[in-house]
A and B are shown apart, each in its own frame.
Chain A
């Protein structure tokens, strides 16, 4: 009986710590966004993701703005915020922390798509974006 309780609480502890970490992976997030978009993961396009990253859009104040404005043209390099603070590289190859926390990923897509595109990004676009960045060496 005691053994069983001990085993049970150990199992609970393991489950709880796994839940707390809840580490996502870029591939896991791609699958999630593909599902949300109603397409197979194979339909996500790194080429479209790259285009999304590099294309200029009219910003709120009329100045052209794009992802690379802050993240630079090389997403394996650190970028800079408008007030000069370092942004860690976006590409998982250079920064393994990227695309491992769904809340953080959603927060930044919400903010930055609004800033760059003046709208939210679609699930397909988010999937394409991660597909491309996952390929960057």
Chain B
């Protein structure tokens, strides 16, 4: 009887743990969103302003020093004028710094920083060593496909990029 009860208990435990393991996306089970899933962040200005032209790139993709350079040069933002009023600009920069790759708030950021040289402050996410290595199997011709446009267009291949999910299983490279 005792053994029977204990057996049922063990089976139930294994079942529950197993169910949890399969039902939770691997990232969320790890707490911070995991390696390929970014923490869900909210900042109205970041979402509204940055995303009017491109995906609101996650702050975890660049260090604070990079974000300061980006936000300090919005009049000439990769060839376009993306200037903002000072209050909005300051609010977005604060948010980017608080969640930057070197802020220690995400696993993605840690991975980006692992490959960053001490005084490096790249302006482009695509110039980080982490990005280059992650995408080394993508041919140059693939990037310039009309359906992709450029490497700045994360969502062309990462189906759920807008939700901060960069899991390998979500990748569909368009023809």
Residues of A whose CB lies within 8 Å of any CB of B are: 60-61, 81-85, 107, 110-112, 114-115
Contact = CB atoms under 8 A, between A and B. Distances in A.
Interface of B: 51, 53-55, 75, 79-85, 148-150, 152-153, 156
A78 to B, nearest CB: 13
A58 to B, nearest CB: 14
A61 B79 contact: yes
Contacts of B156: 84
A60 B81 CA distance: 11
Nearest to B51: A85
A115 B152 contact: no
Given A81-B53, A81-B54, A111 B82 contact: yes
B80 A85 contact: no
Contact of B149 (A84, A107, A112, A115): A84
A51 to B, nearest CB: 22
A97 to B, nearest CB: 12
Nearest to B153: A84
A112 to B, nearest CB: 7
Contacts of B80: 82, 111, 115
A116 B149 CA distance: 21
A61 B79 CA distance: 8
A84 B147 CA distance: 9
Given A82-B80, A83-B149, A115-B80, 19 more contacts: A60-B79, A81-B53, A82-B53, A82-B79, A83-B53, A83-B150, A83-B153, A84-B153, A84-B156, A85-B53, A85-B55, A85-B153, A107-B85, A110-B81, A110-B83, A111-B82, A111-B83, A114-B75, A114-B81
A120 to B, nearest CB: 11
Contacts of A84: 148-150, 153, 156
A78 B46 CA distance: 23
B81 A112 contact: yes
A119 B20 CA distance: 59
B55 to A, nearest CB: 7
A31 to B, nearest CB: 24
